[in-house]
Amino acid sequence: MKRFFGCDAHKHYSLFAFMDEAGHKRNFIRVENDRYDFRQFLHTLPPGSMIAVESVGNWYWMIDEMEKAGHVPQLAHARKAKLMMGQINKTDNVNVKDF
């Protein structure tokens, strides 16, 4: 079964969310934004995973690491994503849980 991934990036950590084709959501996983920890986590994902990443100030190195790990990152505009989900209040909890 195909899985979809989302990454809500913060300054010191990122939250990853998972959803399968049937729309079943998984608990999110917090990963420290240390390159080694981030890289180790990426290697636990299925090869070639598509990962939506919120466009924040530190996204560039995350995209590089995702590509090096063989994944397909998709940069998402934070404000536009909020509008597409029909949300007025954008919070980190909403970002990752409503992925």
| pTM of the shown model | 0.76
Confidence of residue 23 (pLDDT cuts 50, 70, 90): confident
Mean pLDDT along residues 73-92:
65
Domain limits of the chain? Answer: 3-97
Q: b/e for 7-41, b at 16 or more Cβ within 10 A?
A: bbbeeeebbbbbeeeeeeeeebeebeeeeeebeeb
Candidates 3.30.420.40, 3.40.50.150, 1.10.10.10, 3.40.720.10; CATH matching 3-97: 3.30.420.40
CA 82, CA 17: separation in Å to the nearest integer? 16
